[in-house]
Amino acid sequence: MVKKIDPCTLVLFGASGNLSRVKLMPGLFRLDAAGRLPEHMAILSVGRGDVTREAWQADIKKMLASKFKDGYDQAVFQRFMARQHYHANPPDDADAFNKMKATLSNEQVFPQNLAYFLSVRPTDFAPIVEQLSGVGLLDESQYWRRVLIEKPFGTNLPSAQDLQASITKHLKESQIYRIDHYLGKSALQNIMLTRFANTMFEPLWNNQYIDHVQITNNEILGVGDRTEFYNNTGALRDMVQSHLLQTLALVAMEKPQDLSPESIRAEKIKLLQAIRPLPIKDLAKHAFRAQYSAGRVCVGDGHGENVAGYLDELAKEGVSASVTETYAALKLFIDNPRWQGVPFYVRTAKRMHEGNTAVSIRFKKAPMELVEGQHQNWLTLNIQPRECIKMEIESKIPGLDIATRTLSIDAPQRQTGDESIDSYESLLLNLMEGDPSLYLHISEVEAQWRLIDPIVKAWAEDQSAVHQYPAGSRDPEQSGVIFESTDQFWRYSIELGGDKH
């Protein structure tokens, strides 16, 4: 269903940054091409540099050319360019926000419903909100005003609460859009639909039938040029606190009353709050961390490339030691009747042998072992790069003897001709529609930090050398220490078919 969007202006802070170049501008262009932007909609890019409108438009043209190599529709391009404006906001100009207000007051050019996208350093979130409020640009008496806050919302529970306290001096909860870009992924939205739009899954979705669940995000990429950010953050905070816990919430939550943002968020909040805190004294059996060492990874064309280890990359930047993890695996339990006793293994790593994000569910043993060596059923919801659902069942090998083997029912979710949407496109659209379903409520952010903070602290305090895994390898064998039972093992990409190890 296409929702109506009011005439509005999108004010893009940090417009010359990488996110804007690679995701936001191309995403907005595609929305325009699909006819999803309102006719009266302007984009005001805000940056530190003093750039003319023409120079900025030329820059946007370059961003689009590098994204859409096969070209694009010229009529859409003209329309998109006509929406584009630039405002210089030098940090040392005390009057900068008044000037922005003066620019925006031109109602012929800028519709007065304003959506601010803060793609800036996290330390700038609160000051920008305060200054917007100071000049009256958050006032909703006539028009709506919304603020999108990029990840991360705080770096731990106290800083998230501080940020919340600062911005709620100026904003109501309904004006705040806290991003987790994984929620914009169609495959993640499909988790809820798969569970609740099919009769066959829900009766099995509990501790009576499920042995354990694995939520995995593996990447081939390393930390790249983000060494400083990453070394202060680590895999737990970068991926687990946000994207993976949100995925877990969608997999495990109870059925919402309806599909309203309030109902969905209420169920996710309940679930996140029901995750049992990890026993810090016994952490080694519940959490494992590691760092990649030098190795060889697979690159796009199937060839190998030798890459440096994490500590070597840091050494080049003058950092001599670090216990920051590039691999993190946790065992979590959910204290509610549905999930009592079922381990949820959540893991993420950089520089693995493959890049894949998936939810893999292993069912319990069939009540009778009819044939020796019978396998347990698996259901995998693969998120990326392939979006598909795969079910593994036991079946008789045709022939004279009674023997079974595992069959895979592998259904691509994406079919020829389906739209391929970047997560930021749905998020931008929802922001302008005023639909917060794909954004985080503060209670979700708090529950996520509350769970992760004690582990981050315990790991930071333990300065002993961190386990190393060669770049391009699979999970370190030692990570298996967190498994509840000896017959559990890490699942990999479903492309590997029957290869379970």
- For residue 383, the minimal CB distance to ligand BG6 (Å) is 8
Cα-trace Rg, the chain: 24
> Is residue 375 among the annotated active site residues?
no
Q: Among residues 238, 313, 325, 387, which is the contact residue for ligand BG6, using CB under 6 A?
A: 238
Is the Cβ of residue 401 or residue 419 nearer to ligand BG6 in the bound state?
419
- For residue 151, the minimal CB distance to ligand BG6 (Å) is 6
Number of residues that bind ligand BG6 (CB under 6 A): 4
Is the Cβ of residue 236 or residue 311 nearer to ligand BG6 in the bound state?
236
* Binding flags for ligand BG6, 341-380, as an x/- string (CB under 6 A): ----------------x-----------------------
Counting every residue written for the chain, the total comes to 501
Say how far apart CA 459 and CA 477 lie, in whole Å. 20
Say how far apart CA 276 and CA 332 lie, in whole Å. 7
Give me the phi and psi of 15, to 5 degrees please.
Answer: -65, -25
Is the Cβ of residue 61 or residue 151 nearer to ligand BG6 in the bound state?
151
Burial class, 454, CB count within 10 angstroms (exposed 0-12 / middle 13-18 / buried 19+): middle
Cβ–Cβ under 8 Å, residues 137 and 97: yes
- For residue 222, the minimal CB distance to ligand BG6 (Å) is 10
Q: CB within 8 A of 304, min separation 6: which ones? A: 296, 297, 298, 472
- For residue 76, the minimal CB distance to ligand BG6 (Å) is 26
Instruction: Indicate the residue whose CB is closest to ligand BG6.
Output: 238
Give me the phi and psi of 474, to 5 degrees please.
Answer: -95, -175
- For residue 357, the minimal CB distance to ligand BG6 (Å) is 6
Pairing status of strand 8-13 against strand 176-178: unpaired
Is the Cβ of residue 170 or residue 237 nearer to ligand BG6 in the bound state?
237
Q: Six-digit token pair at 341? A: 């006793």
- For residue 219, the minimal CB distance to ligand BG6 (Å) is 6
Reported as type and span, the H/E element at residue 195 is helix 186-196
Identify the CA nearest to 339 among candidates 277, 271, 437.
Answer: 271
Residue numbers 449-478 binding ligand BG6 by CB under 6 A: none
Sequential DSSP letters for 259-320: SSHHHHHHHHHHHHHTBPPP-GGGGGGTEEEEEEESEEEE-TTS-EEEE--HHHHHHHTT--
Is the Cβ of residue 8 or residue 383 nearer to ligand BG6 in the bound state?
383
- For residue 243, the minimal CB distance to ligand BG6 (Å) is 6
The catalytic position among 181, 243, 353, 441 is 243
- For residue 409, the minimal CB distance to ligand BG6 (Å) is 26
Cβ–Cβ under 8 Å, residues 377 and 500: no
Could you tell me which residues are beta bridge partners of residue 293? 470
Per DSSP, the three-state class of 164 is: helix
Is the Cβ of residue 211 or residue 219 nearer to ligand BG6 in the bound state?
219
Sheet strands side by side (includes 287-293): 404-412, 388-396, 378-384, 356-363, 210-218, 344-349, 327-332, 287-293, 468-470
Residue numbers 171-230 binding ligand BG6 by CB under 6 A: 219
Residue numbers 144-173 binding ligand BG6 by CB under 6 A: 151
Say how far apart CA 236 and CA 214 lie, in whole Å. 16
Q: Decide if residue 446 touches ligand BG6 (CB under 6 A).
A: no
Q: Six-digit token pair at 157? A: 């529970």
Q: Which residues bind ligand BG6 (CB under 6 A)?
A: 151, 219, 238, 357
Residues identified as active-site: 243
